[in-house]
Structure 1
């Protein structure tokens, strides 16, 4: 049973939120009455993305955040501590991509390192640094935006499909799923729920719906579902549209 007695609106931070799924997650969460911290590496991009939502009357606050830099995450944590005193939900959405033809045998390891720095260590770093604020929430939620590319169970884009293409991205998302399990196990019993979510193939670029991609609103709804889980909801899982996925 979800009994949310903490005063004030829920405070949720979304990384990599100036476009695509991240921006739509901000739109949906703010529409549900939450105060949304919309972040991007470039504060001008964050502000431009937030402005239409603000004009709609939604409580969206743009901030700069580079998840690959300790000082950037710590600086924002200090601002949140002073302004709100807590954080109710963290959505680790920021992601780096590679050439979709990349293979493990020939991958540029510097490029692969950069992907892991954002997709794995960026989420790890941001969660570590913001966890003290999340612990102050009565209903803490950590949502890692993962992908079927990091799963053995995804028959279309999974780890063993497409002759091993998109290697570093898939490996980074498999590692993010593992990180989700570790955080969930450590935080069990604290009231903080930690889950990974796959939005599915989502139309984040023109023409993708013709390829079978779902509208961005649907992809974002998977993330929003995990943010809004009741206190007796699952933790340590991997989900798409609220349904468990193997990985």
Structure 2
């Protein structure tokens, strides 16, 4: 089996269960429902719709990504099916990559379908100004969702202990989606002896951008004039907090956790 076969099996299993259909129904209802409800906001513009739907995607996608990925490998190791799977001509690298890709597709297909339908409705209802950048929003969403799936799958590959996996999944979400910026801000305040008038140094600005949600917001800022990531887009900021840096950081969030997970998975017993 190649990594393509592993990914195909994951997608096929999801299509036979309620997971994929449940996700599609939930996300479609969420996104299309917002597109319809946005008419009552008073600001009936397409860019305003994008700014609003991003506020939904931003907290929802990390939770779904971690939930879909954090037991992708550990469950099969615990029930013995992984040992049977590895008896086929496939490497652990192919298994890890296939699992990450399969779970990412399971998450992003219903997400992109829901967002596409909602975007089409919004363009017809609120005008087409800014609609040309909508594919960029979908692309940024793909990277954002994939980064959380990659972290969760890597965690699943690193251990078989249920408690560690659960605590790791919760910890990954809290760190990556909740505490990251607060910890950087506290560190800067502590180093400056809580003199907030000194502002944010360039190195702290980059560390803040390294949060997946901040990188996601910076990419969106490159396509839409929305009230997000404005601190990285003003005059005088260093070039290493531009949109391309956010793109690289999200790719790092995908590649590095998988490499770390493989290091543990590759040397462990099945």
TM-score by shorter chain over 0.5: no
Instruction: Identify the structure with the greater strand proportion.
Output: 1
Instruction: Identify the structure with the greater helix proportion.
Output: 2
Greater gyration radius = 2
Q: TM-score by structure 2 length? A: 0.25
RCO comparison, higher one (Cα < 8 Å, 6+)? 2
